[in-house]
Structure 1
């Protein structure tokens, strides 16, 4: 929801920033505008990334990224129709078949998910890795200590997780596959395995959301794979991929320029060309994408910059309290390096 203090600002910018939608250059964008909503596939059962709150609204990093894309494409972050599926494979198949416009479902960007398929990745929203959740009293401190131990994984990880575990720990593993992430960590809680293996972020979240005694468990600090999680779009529409990709870059750039939903009125007073270009005061980043010149302003005002979304979804403003770590800005030691909007 747009804060009341921004109402006058957005109204004033409507003329100078050309908020009337530009002629779409993307077939997908044309369909979205005719439909009046962005169709976005999310996990739906992973708190912090996408899960329904008490009122039924989808919340989390992935869910808010869907809203950011809707704000860019339609000028209204609320115009999203969420759908949930069980696996990444099912999500990408639905996308490829035309049943969605965007997948934002903690899905790893992989060669095998793009090469020869009708989908394309559109940036990295969260840098992750295959990690391990163990009892707090366990003597295990490094992944190598788990060689020969009993491991629980979820069915969603399946063969890919097994392959990664065997590459890191050897082939003498006793692996038990649970129906989903919740069942996986509860199997660990019940003593059915010595560690649960999944994306480290999922383990950190499920430790808080799914276990009766979170303090009785810890996530190892070392991961054994690289898992760049990001949104996917249908291949064949490079203009739509560009819209999704640059929406993420705008959120990261806004953080670097210290422009947030809470301070837009104040930052507009700064005489900074990069900031004015980002917010659409100085035209130049809208027409080529078929968007209004103030599309990034709408994203920041209605959804927030990357730091705001991370904080309320996964960070200090959430029940999970995750550090930014690799997902911090590049100038603070993280891997997020926003592409210049010029």
Structure 2
């Protein structure tokens, strides 16, 4: 007699929008203890439970315990961001000779999709898969002209547990006319635990990039070529404690109030490749990030100011978490020398990111060799 398999997927109501529509949560679990909780609002990663070196599970992403927190204030906790993540200068660009005017929501610029981006939409559940690789697929159709972007865009996001300690994120999009697309996930990671009371300044960060984009006061890339990380606080090629240089007197740390910059990764080759490694000495948790995207926005939680109460009633403050956001480079539609974000009819936008978790003993957290870097081809 066969023993019935234990369900690895659970689906329930998480909240209700003002119009009465239901926000659902889907929980994915695997034998290794990894557990991902995804809500339909913003196709967001609401919680991610990961065992530490001693086997204790903690939630390692910032957010809210109840839906009301997500609705009350827009802070992108765990959200799918689009139609264009990051900033577009002047909230405008020219596509095929026609000027496109977007909604400006970050001074004169467009940020993270505009006034009501993908993070503020209630996605529909398009499919759920149980078994050894449990998954949920969420879908959203962005209408032609939404936030000013041309073309109707059909988007699907699939969260899947691809191994005992691995979470994958696959995003696809198709358009009915030429447009631009740049999607990312905006999770705030703290590998000590979201309710640990610790910040991420003692985390060690590795980034596989030897160039980054310097920015102006509006966080728009300067017109100069990408800047070399060598000899700067932006050199994370061999793993550095985040807090060791975040307060150095460097003009780019002043203008960003910390790290809030795009790191230029190696050109995509189809399959995800190593982009970053984050390690916490207190928990022994190690996150390795692989992606097929050309850039990685590193954001050290600079604008968390203690005005938001999150999980466990904790007030979120500066450097309580770090975001590692694979994406196209900011302002790409206005920069012909940047990797393109254009999507034409008949093409499929594909974004894949893998979050792979391991453990390291305290003494081994900071001992790493150099990683493979993009070199000049990363420009």
Same fold (TM over 0.5): no
Of Structure 1 and Structure 2, which has the larger fraction of its residues in strand?
A: 2
TM-score (norm 2): 0.24
Q: Greater RCO between the two (CA within 8 Å, min separation 6)?
A: 1
TM-score (norm 1): 0.26
Larger Cα Rg: Structure 1 or Structure 2? Answer: 1
Of Structure 1 and Structure 2, which has the larger fraction of its residues in helix?
A: 1
